[in-house]
A and B are shown apart, each in its own frame.
Chain A
Amino acid sequence: MASSHAKDSSFLGGRIPPEIESMSKNLKDVDHDMFRRILKAVVSALDGKDCREVMRTIAESSTIPQKRLGHIIAGMYRLLSEAIRIPTSSLKQEAFKEDLRELRIPEDFITDFSSVVFGNRRAALEAARSLNDPHLPTIEELKWRVDVAISTSSLARAMQPSVLMQMKLSDGSFNRFEVPVSKFQELRYNVALILKEMNDLEKRSILKIQD
């Protein structure tokens, strides 16, 4: 139809990823029930859950050869990953459905795909996906203690306060270190400065990065 010629290339880009091409070829042998089972497992995987057991059950109860099943699952996973990556302001539901029709995916399946990408589970999936982004460890827990060294083996009268900190990081590691009073002031000042910078950043319109 005339409208499809005026349309930009698919949301999948100029070249359709091979696993999606392969999936679309194999989907015609899958009944709706089986499709829904696989879709459920794939969504669960996108959510970050371990679905090896579920996949194993599907594989065992299906007549589809394992290799083809593998292609189908990989294709569905990739399709949904790519769709969720794009903000809803850029990829509208109708355009998404059109793109899937071009891949010759059955209409029923398109509806199911669409309800995952544009339904109310979307936000949760996005959050789960962003956990995979590269990032540095964060502080999970910070414990502290203020000590005063009254006397030591080297100094009879020390009377020296210091702060002992123990950090537990998100990667499971621990760091314990001492902060002398002067360094503590520097630390506190810098943390306050960081917060100020973050607040300033939010006030500036640069934060509203549109695509």
Chain B
Amino acid sequence: MADAEAAKSLSALLHGIAQSVFYKRSDVTEELLRAELFPELPPLDFRVLHDKMRGVVKSVATADMDRAQLEAFLTAQTRKQGGGGLSAEQAAALSRFWKSQRVRVRESLLAQSRWEPGLRGLSWRVDLQAAASRGHAAHSGPVALVELELGRAGQDSEFVCLEFDEAKVNEMLKKMADIQESMDRLVQHT
């Protein structure tokens, strides 16, 4: 049916807008979306549609609306007189879109305010030193070799390799406990 087709195109448009605005896909352009999804629509009419949808999506995303807030917002939009409002189909498409994409969009927006490299992962192994060219091996105990993977959004990872003796690992664990305690206290207050 024409309705189902229209709904699909609308959904796809919203996803396309998300790709471009939030997920940094510069290859998803307005022209591409028009050609793929609304080829019969005159460019100017498409622009109006595209801009309206993008504006709504951005408002919803910046406010990180929960279900109740979204309902209220969309209802208000559909009640708007004149050309600026949303149709019932558009509101429905937006509702579906936000339900599935909210977490991902929020994550990408948070990432935009992270300027330090983030910890992406780590790997490690524990070695036993058996011999050394200069020193006397019997004094060593187990040694942990750790590789930290750090990186900024969209950039390649940097790897930092470190070694720890047992005392150092203990020290690190104690710091982790302190950090955890600090975070737990935060949760109590908020």
Contact = CB atoms under 8 A, between A and B. Distances in A.
Interface of A: 81, 84-85, 87, 126-127, 129-139, 142, 144, 146, 148-149, 152-165, 169, 175-181, 183-184, 186-188, 190-192, 194-195, 197-199, 201-202, 206-207, 209
Given A163-B179, A198-B141, A179 B128 contact: no
Given A85-B134, A178-B118, A178-B119, A191 B150 contact: no
Contacts of A156: 62-64
Contacts of A195: 166, 169-170, 173
Contact of B162 (A136, A183, A187): A136
28 contacts: A81-B134, A133-B132, A133-B133, A133-B134, A137-B163, A138-B168, A139-B162, A139-B172, A142-B172, A146-B182, A153-B112, A155-B110, A158-B64, A161-B183, A163-B183, A175-B150, A177-B119, A177-B148, A180-B118, A183-B121, A186-B122, A191-B176, A194-B124, A198-B126, A198-B141, A202-B142, A206-B128, A209-B130
Nearest to B130: A209
Interface of B: 61-64, 106, 109-110, 112-114, 116-122, 124, 126, 128, 130, 132-136, 138-142, 144-146, 148, 150, 160-166, 168-170, 172-173, 175-176, 178-180, 182-183, 186, 190
Contacts, number: 172
Chain A interface main SS type? mixed
B126 A126 contact: no
